[in-house]
Amino acid sequence: MPTLRFTDEDWRRTLESFSAWWEGALERPLCSIAVTDDVGLRHRRGFFTNYPAGMSADEIVECYVPYLEATRWYGDAFPYVWCNFGPGMLAGFLGCRVHSVTEPSETVWFSPPAPATASSLSLRYDPRNRWWARVLDVTKAFVRRFGDSLVVGHVDLGGNLDVLASFLGTQELLLELTDEPSSVERLVREISALWIRYYDEQAALLRGATRGTSAWTPLLSSGTTYMLQSDFSYMISPAMFDRFVMPDLVAVCERLDHAFYHLDGKGEIPHLDSLLSLERLRGIQWIPGDGQPPPEKWLPLLKRIRDGGKLCQLFVTPRGALTIARELGGKGFYFVVNSGLEELPDEESIRGYLRELQSA
């Protein structure tokens, strides 16, 4: 079994910190800093969809061994890998064509298997779907190779309208929200039920085998967690959000111990009051979006999230995290420091920074 630079005592400490944070009892912010030594990690891809079809799940996992062995975890970071098959992969499990792209940069996108309308479309679970089988195989392979020394993040299933847009097209779905609202409501109910089924099946492979559950963001839950989303909601009104998205969020939050929501860009801010009203939604991740000021420039919004009784996760620089903690207090925040690490060039500076942040 690979040797990771993370002890049982590290796991105990980290799980205790996350548990206290989820309960609102941690007085300091969580902060994750992961540093990977340069060991020539050219074989590791960002999207598992972009590995050759003939490459086994065990071979894919082996690409990650040197990466994980070369990583050092500081603060509240922990050994973790995300099953990244692309955003909204539920569409692929249900029959959309999956397009893997490696040049000029890696990405994954979907196209419908055939033209459809909201009134004609029906979605069903397909246990023989090759992409779903691949997710299960990769999940099992990581568990076999690493056991409980690694947390495996759930595949990105996507939001209900995001998945539906993969089948109908974005423009067409916008029209159907007005022209065929009852058909859209039927479809989003189908998607919610399917979402839960796929989530539960992957969770069953991880339950008891790893130290907890996670998502595409390095959250850590001793129960179940997920980063919910509705990127499509950027284009719809709060009334439409409440009608077509909120029932899905309510249903999924009921099934999760620690549900989070991915608030992606200022176009989603009009839906914040609805999100804050969800009692079982534990927190909100704020992503300002390309071309927007960084998270520390959104202090009134972050205060609104915290005053609304929600936890808040952010991707920040070291200075950004310090600014937020000093201005708003650190309690309830989870800072994933994923840029600006040149400010912390060695272990001594990282540990000194973490002490400064915790006392801010």
Q: Which residues, 6+ apart, have CB-to-CB distance to 262 below 8 Å?
A: 217, 227, 228, 229, 231, 285, 287
Q: Is residue 56 part of a domain?
A: yes
Q: Is residue 353 part of a domain?
A: no
Query: Residue 39 pLDDT > 70, yes or no?
Result: no
Q: Is residue 318 part of a domain?
A: no
Average pLDDT over residues 228-254: 97
Query: Residue 40 pLDDT > 70, yes or no?
Result: no
Average pLDDT over residues 209-215: 95
Average pLDDT over residues 210-225: 96
186 CA to centre of own chain? 26
pLDDT at 42: 57
Top pLDDT among 39 and 105 is at: 105
Are 41 and 70 contacting, i.e. CB atoms less than 8 angstroms apart? Answer: yes
Q: Is residue 222 part of a domain?
A: yes
pLDDT at 100: 86
pLDDT tens across 312-343, in order?
Answer: 999 999 999 999 999 999 999 999 999 999 99
Structure tokens at 309: 């009784």
Structure tokens at 161: 């309208």
From residue 139, how far is each of 3, 146, 198, 201, 203 by CA, in Å?
19, 11, 13, 11, 10
pLDDT at 266: 96
The residues with which 80 forms a beta bridge, in sequence order, are 151
Q: Is residue 266 part of a domain?
A: yes
User: Count of domains in the chain?
Assistant: 1
What does the mean pLDDT of the chain come to? 95
pLDDT tens across 138-164, in order?
Answer: 999 999 999 999 999 999 999 999 999
Q: Is residue 359 part of a domain?
A: no
CATH number at residue 269: 3.20.20.210
Structural domain of residue 242, as residue ranges? 8-18+42-66+77-301
In whole angstroms, give the CA distance from residue 231 to residue 160.
10
How sure is the predictor about 38, in pLDDT bands with cuts at 50, 70 and 90? Answer: confident
Q: Is residue 192 part of a domain?
A: yes
